[in-house]
Amino acid sequence: MQLVKEYAHLKEEDLLGRIHRAKEELGDSLIILGHHYQRNEVIQFADFCGDSLDLARRAAEQKKARHIVVCGVRFMAETAAVVCGEEQVVLTPNLKAGCPLADFAQLDDVKQAWEELQEADVGSLVPVAYVNSAVVIKAFCAQNGGISCTSANAKVIVGWGLKQGKVFFMPDENLGINAARECGLSQDKVVLWEPGKTLGGNEIEELRRAEMIVWRGHCYVHSSFAFADVERVRVKDPKAKVIVHPECPPAVVEAADGSASTSQILRIVEEAPPGTSFAVGTEVNVVERLNSEYPDKEVFPLKRSVCEDMAKIDPPGLLHILESLVAGTPVNVVHLSPEVRKWGALPISRMLYVKARR
Ligand code: 13P
Ligand code: SF4
Kindly state the average pLDDT of the residues 181-204.
97
Cα dihedral sign for 119, 351, 176, 51? positive
Q: Is the pLDDT of residue 208 over 90?
A: yes
Residues contacting 247, CB < 8 A, separation 6+: 101, 151, 172, 174, 175, 218, 219, 221, 222, 223
Q: How far apart are CA 100 and CA 256, in angstroms?
A: 25
This prediction's pTM: 0.95
Q: Give ranges for CATH 3.40.50.10800 in the chain.
A: 2-97+309-335, 102-219, 225-301
Q: What is the pLDDT of residue 196?
A: 93
Residue from 38, 74, 132 to probe ligand 2 pocket by mutation (most atoms less than 8 Å from CB): 132
Distances (CA, A) of 107 to 136, 201, 272: 7, 19, 43
Q: Is the pLDDT of residue 339 over 80?
A: yes
Cβ(57)–Cβ(352) below 8 Å: yes
Q: Is the CB of 132 under 6 A from ligand 1?
A: yes
Q: Is the CB of 133 under 6 A from ligand 1?
A: no
Cβ(4)–Cβ(320) below 8 Å: yes
Q: How far is the CA of 78 from the centre of ligand 2 (A)?
A: 15
Residue from 94, 103, 219, 282 to probe ligand 2 pocket by mutation (most atoms less than 8 Å from CB): 219
Q: Is the CB of 219 under 6 A from ligand 1?
A: yes
Element (H, E) at 151: none
Q: Is the CB of 309 under 6 A from ligand 1?
A: no
For the domain covering 102-219, report its CATH number.
Answer: 3.40.50.10800
Second-level CATH architecture of 225-301: 3-Layer(aba) Sandwich (3.40)
Kindly state the average pLDDT of the residues 211-229.
98
Exposed, middle or buried: residue 66 (CB in 10 Å: 0-12, 13-18, 19+)?
Answer: middle
User: How does residue 62 score in pLDDT terms, banded at 50, 70 and 90?
Assistant: confident
Q: What is the pLDDT of residue 8?
A: 84
User: How does residue 2 score in pLDDT terms, banded at 50, 70 and 90?
Assistant: very low
Question: pLDDT tens-digit profile of 126-160?
Answer: 999 999 999 999 999 999 999 999 999 999 999 99
% of the chain beyond a pLDDT of 90: 91
Q: What is the pLDDT of residue 66?
A: 96
Q: What is the pLDDT of residue 3?
A: 55
> Closest ligand 1 atom to the C-alpha of 52?
4
Q: What is the pLDDT of residue 358?
A: 38
Q: Is the CB of 229 under 6 A from ligand 1?
A: no
Kindly state the average pLDDT of the residues 53-65.
88
Kindly state the average pLDDT of the residues 152-172.
95
Looking at domain 2-97+309-335, what is its CATH homologous superfamily? NadA-like (3.40.50.10800)
What are the contacts of 297-301 at 24+ separation with CB within 8 A?
A: 297/269, 297/272, 298/240, 299/269, 300/240
Q: What is the pLDDT of residue 355?
A: 55
Q: Is the CB of 52 under 6 A from ligand 1?
A: yes
Kindly state the average pLDDT of the residues 7-24.
94
Element (H, E) at 103: helix 100-103
Q: How far apart are CA 253 and CA 143, in angstroms?
A: 33
> Closest ligand 1 atom to the C-alpha of 307?
10
Q: What are the beta bridge partners of residue 49?
A: 34
Question: pLDDT tens-digit profile of 256-309?
Answer: 999 999 999 999 999 999 999 999 999 999 999 999 999 999 999 999 999 999
How many Å separate Cα 70 from the centre of its chain?
Answer: 13
% of the chain beyond a pLDDT of 70: 98
Alpha-carbon radius of gyration of the chain = 21
DSSP annotation string for 175-222:
HHHHHHHHTT--GGGEEEE-TTSGGGG--HHHHHH-SEEEE----TTT
Q: How far is the CA of 101 from the centre of ligand 1 (A)?
A: 11
User: How does residue 349 score in pLDDT terms, banded at 50, 70 and 90?
Assistant: confident
